[in-house]
Structure 1
Amino acid sequence: MTCYNDPQQERQQLGQCALLDLTPLARVGLRGRQAADYLNARQYQLPQAPNQALGQSDGSAILRLSQTEYFLLGSLGDLGQRIRAEESAWSLSDESVYLLPRQDSHAWLLLTGNHVAEVMAKLCGVDLRAEAFPPGSVAQTSAARINVIVANLGSEPLPCFHLLCDRASLNYFWDAVLDAMEEFGGIPVGIDALR
């Protein structure tokens, strides 16, 4: 949804506690011994180690899940067009790089505001406070009893966690996160708040 309420109010809510559904944006995975070379050749900046994330200059992001697996998240700026183009352009070759379609397998939520760690503490046993989970960190864990990838791609002015879960569990996980946010005055907002 692009907007639930007054757009100005939603922009202000981002800093307190808000939940956005970014599932319509493009995302894709790549795995293989030469995946890093493949992405470097396409002008992506890569995280140095597994369980790290790095934002790109165009607003997209790369999560490194293991030594040879990457998860690419599209940018709101181009509505995920760059990542969608990467998926379309990929073809099987002699390179050890394999495409992992993620559009249908993973839902994508964005939790923002000063209370992101407190909200997630209600759902997840991993310490996601800033001192233990600084920007650029990735956790592959369980939250609300489902497998979730949490990426801290926030900044000082706007803390935010990208939450990737099984797409079939989206409605359940959305409700669980909203319930955990209630104590902090959290509400859902539309993607227009980010523009």
Structure 2
Amino acid sequence: MKSVLIFPLSLWVVGALAHAAIPLNIGEPCSRGHRGILFRVTDPTDFSQGCQVTAVLKKDCLQLFRGNKETARIALDAIETPVHIVPYHKTCLSIKPASRDAEILCCDNENCRDAWWMALSEQILCLHKGAMRNEVSGEPTVEEEEREVLEQVVEKPSEGGVTIHVEKSPEGVEPVLTVHPSFKQSDVHPH
């Protein structure tokens, strides 16, 4: 009689332990968060300048903490996509909020960097899940329209004002700064 009671109890315990080991949100990337320790670079020219922060990725924002104090909160819908992997540093990401300078966050290794890149990219996609893009065949996408506007402003300024062009120079040489006045073309002359 005892063996009959012990067997179902042992199945129940094993089943409960197995269920507890499997996360409930498996296969649902939109319900996951991400957290970890990252190095926040304060000087983009010197990657040794900065401090360690605790990064917490939530559904709508990325929070950076130094101890108990929140040092930065970046809204995911304000991040210019894609999230960039810094090409000259193997373990760093560059996150560019629309209204601020880019945040450079570094990990200990490339696997950590890749995990953060995936988590950020997934969460940004999840934030816009169900949102519809209005793209019609034959018409330019939003990105193409933005590129055209930028090209018109930089290459062919049609409005009055000043155009400034900075050319990147080799190391040790100051960059070349060219300033051009631009005048609005008018067919009618004022009297």
Q: Give the TM-score band, short-chain normalised.
A: under 0.3
Which one scores higher on RCO, CA 8 angstroms, separation ≥ 6?
1
Say which structure is richer in strand: 2
Q: What is the TM-score of this pair, normalised by structure 1? A: 0.22
Larger radius of gyration: 2
Q: What is the TM-score of this pair, normalised by structure 2? A: 0.22
